Structure 1
Amino acid sequence: MIEAIAAYYDDFGRRWAHGTSPLYEEWALGIARDERMLARIAPLEPRLRQANLLFAAARWAGCPLAPYPEWSAWVTAHWDDVMTVASARATQTNEPGRCATLLPVLSRIDGPVALLEVGAAAGLCLLPDRYSVVYEGPSGAVRLDPVAGPPPFVLECRIDDEALIPDRMPEIVWRRGIDLRPIDPSDPDAVEWLATLIWPGPHHDSRVARLRGAAAVAASDPPRIERGDLLERLAEVARESPPDATLVVYHSAVLLYLSQPDRERFADLVRGLGAAIGRRVRWLSNETTGTFASVDAQLPAEAATDHRFVQTVDGRVVALAGQHGATYETRGLGA
């Protein structure tokens, strides 16, 4: 157990935090080499061992944004306070920037679209047609605005294929979410927790402002988020979608929190959903490598997957999408 936790924190620091959040990289690598801290973490339930949750809970409880020796001493002295926060909260990184990497798929669906996001949190990724996006393509920048007018912030995405830059917003006629702990985007405390889940560092400062802007958009007309387990509620909620719309079931960085058997169970549910409810269903997935072996097998050996999700449509790899929506890459994937 100790070795597995050390490997997890080492991977988090080297693969995910490196180059984007120096402080989280140092904390993660520090834990990976700290036998006393590893011994504290080992008895915790798996959910509480998550680096994102532990680090955000420590920050919420008042830890210093300091080098590992000072930070770990503070966390050790305030361990009960940190665990109280972590036990009451959850990792729900609701990154609206990811909508920029959903639109290249959603905008190419003909006719009305119904959206069903599992792991929706506050529903900020249920509103891709309500945010402005600037796509930086090989020939220059292209801006796409909502039909109702632009909000006071802009998503930015670098895309490597000019043909995939959306030229219109999808016609979204219905949207729902499923989450174990739905978040009210009009609740200042809830939005502040989402902001705390954003990593510290200059690469992430703009994400905080974007999150608050997207929360204001959501609060003005909040999408409906159903409370429950995605494995238990999927078909029930999906049946409420309009029968004449294409239902898109999608998620970003959600399935990594499920066990491997539950991931496979979810995949089976989505694959059979269209026949079960009598709808046209597409499955749009943004998850890390290691989520599905069948997806990883489609990737070229040289594919750079750090800081990227593997985007699939109905189980077929179509792109590598930046984890916060800043890039959309298709070259060399055979998409």
Structure 2
Amino acid sequence: MRITVDEHAPTADRYRAFAEVEARGMSATYDAWALGVATDPATIALIDELPPAKRQPNLVFSAARFHGAEPGAYEAFAGWLRSHWPEVRRTAETHATQTNEAARCALHLPVLAELQGPLALLEVGASAGLCLYPDRYGYRYSGHAPLDPAGGPSTVVLDCEVRDGGGDGVVAVPSRLPEVVWRAGIDLNPLDVTDPDDLAWLDALIWPEHHDRRERLRAAAAIVASDPPRLVAGDLNERLAALAAEAPQHATLVVLHTAVIAYLDEAARARFAETVRELPGHWLSVEGRGIVPGIAARDDVPNESSDFVLALDGVQRAWAQPHGRALTRVPNP
């Protein structure tokens, strides 16, 4: 089962849980750093200078990487952090974990392709909007034919392992890409891929060993820069209904989000779920288990502890590897 730790929990507990559940098997560097922090009172004292919401491992480690911290043993990192703490602290205070992984489109695509088009995509927690371009990327689903945009191969090609959870009614891997006619997003601080500092922050959010993700970021950013989406700044609960109303009437609205709702408190999550259910169109969510109100996780289907629940209109359709590397399709109940 996925472990969740309250932001007001002791910092040692938060970093130990991050190492054991989030980073284990995904990043040897972050696994070692997080375990090191969990047993290092001096480093914990530095991190505890931040507000509780800003003490999360992803944010602190990304801020350190933004300022030049190199992968390596924890002891070297701890010494570097002490020497550079003022600038790391300022960045953690003014930035957020806005990971914008284009590969997550490989998770969204099988569901989007089911829907009647053309599509109007509205992403909450959009960051720079890289996940608003599922029709501009190429896909390589295991066991299926290559899938490319109608205009020819893309500079971004997404590899995704497809697993079946058994039974009937699983979401199908598509044979063509959907038509997207409108793209918009909401973020507290939208990022601009044409801004070098914003692009550097997106780069810092990528975990150290994930070199393929870093190359993909640059290629996806070039696609987005050539045809920017409409991104609005603000609270998703305050801006969602008004932005949804701007979608073209002839298109099917799809509100989507990945690893975003976990950052809201319980009341804000409930408000969001109520709002999005009242909108026309569809709701595509990819979040940790137990995060989205009213969505039951299918533990009768094999999954990893770090997998996200992919759901359409409040019903789970698959288990999803958080960075888009794998999709385990869930049969009808």
> Taking structure 2 as the reference length, what is the TM-score of the superposition?
0.91
Q: Which residue of 2 aligns with 1:330?
A: 329
Q: Give the secondary structure class of the aligned counterpart of 2:88.
A: helix
1:278 corresponds in structure 2 to: none
Taking a change above 3 Å as real, the CA distance of residues 266 and 3 of structure 1, as seen in their structure-2 partners, is: closer
| More divergent stretch after superposition (122-131 vs 254-263) | 254-263
Determine if the alignment matches structure 1 residue 150 to structure 2 residue 190. no
Task: Write the letter of the residue equivalent to 2:289.
Answer: T
> Are the counterparts in 2 of residues 2 and 38 from structure 1 also a CA contact under 8 Å?
no
Provide the rounded CA distance (Å) in 2 between the counterparts of 1:125 and 1:135: 18
CA distance in 1, matches of 2:133, 2:92: 28
Residues 102-127 of structure 1, C-alpha deviation per residue, up to 9 Å, x if partnerless?
11000111232110000111110000
TM-superposed deviation, 1:43: 4.0
1:309–1:322 contact (8 Å) kept in structure 2: yes
Is contact 2:135–2:149 with CA below 8 Å preserved after alignment? yes
Alignment of 1:58-69 (within 5 A): 58-69=64-75
Offset at residue 209 of structure 1 (A): 0.4
Structure-1 separation of matches of 2:37 and 2:234 = 33
Gaps of 5+ in 2: 1-6, 165-169
Q: Which amino acid aligns with 1:173?
A: V
Give the CA deviation at 1:304: 2.4
C-alpha contact (below 8 Å) 2:270/2:293 kept by paired residues: no
1:54 is paired with a residue whose SS is helix
What is the alpha-carbon root mean square deviation over aligned residues?
1.9
Matched, 1:181 2:180: no
Quick check: 1:2–1:42 contact (8 Å CA) kept in 2? no
Q: Confirm whether residue 129 of structure 1 aligns to residue 135 of structure 2.
A: yes
Take 1:247 and 1:84, find their aligned partners in 2: how far apart are those partners? 38
Instruction: Name the aligned partner's letter for residue 282 of structure 2.
Output: R
SS in 1 for 2:159: strand
| 1:172 pairs with 2:185 | no
When normalised by structure 1's length, the TM-score is 0.91
Instruction: Name the residue aligned to 1:44.
Output: 50
Distance in 2 separating the partners of 1:61 and 1:253 = 25
| 2: CA distance, partners of 1:219 / 1:226 | 16
Give the CA deviation at 1:55.
Answer: 0.4
Tell me how far 1:66 sits from its aligned partner.
2.2
Q: Which amino acid aligns with 2:283?
A: W
Contact conserved, 2:100 with 2:128, CA < 8 A, in 1? yes
SS at match of 1:121: coil
Note the C-alpha offset of 1:303. Answer: 4.2
Residue pair 1:157, 1:325 contacting (<8 A) in 2 also: yes
The residue aligned with 2:318 is 319
Please point out which of 187, 195, 204 is paired with 2:203.
Answer: 195
- Distance of 2:222 and 2:309 partners within structure 1: 29
Corresponding position of 1:113: 119
Shift of 1:213: 0.3
2:287 paired residue number: 287
How far 1:146 moved relative to its partner?
A: 1.0
**For 2:77 and 2:263, how far apart are their aligned partners in 1?**
26
Q: Which amino acid aligns with 1:319?
A: A
Q: Distance in 2 between matches of 1:253 and 1:30?
A: 25
Return the offset for 1:5.
2.3
Shift of 1:269: 0.8
Alignment CA distance shift 1:44-1:301 (3 Å): farther
Conserved? CA contact 2:183–2:230, under 8 Å? yes
For residue 155 of structure 1, give the secondary structure of its aligned residue in structure 2.
strand
Kept in 1, the 8 Å contact 2:14–2:56? The answer is no
Cα distance, 1:324 vs structure 2: 1.1
Shift of 1:163: 6.5
1:287 aligns to what SS in structure 2? Answer: strand
- 1:3–1:114 Cα change, 3 Å: closer
Structure with bigger helix share is: 1
How far did 1:36 drift?
Answer: 2.6
- Residue 90 of structure 1, CA deviation: 2.0
Distance in 1 of aligned mates of 2:250 and 2:9: 52
| Aligned pairs (5 A) from 1:1-335 | 4-136=10-142, 140-161=143-164, 164-201=172-209, 204-274=210-280, 281-292=281-292, 294-295=294-295, 297-300=296-299, 303-331=302-330, 334=332
Structure 2 counterpart SS, 1:25: helix
Q: Deviations over 1:224-271 (max 9, x none)?
A: 111111010000000001122211000001111111211111111111
1:313 and 1:124 mapped to 2: Cα distance? 20
Number of residue-to-residue matches in the alignment = 322
How many Å apart are 1:2 and its aligned residue?
8.0
Change (3 A) 1:298 1:91: closer
SS of 2:185's partner is strand
Deviation at 1:180, TM superposition (A): 1.1
CA distance in 2 between counterparts of 1:188 and 1:236 reads 30
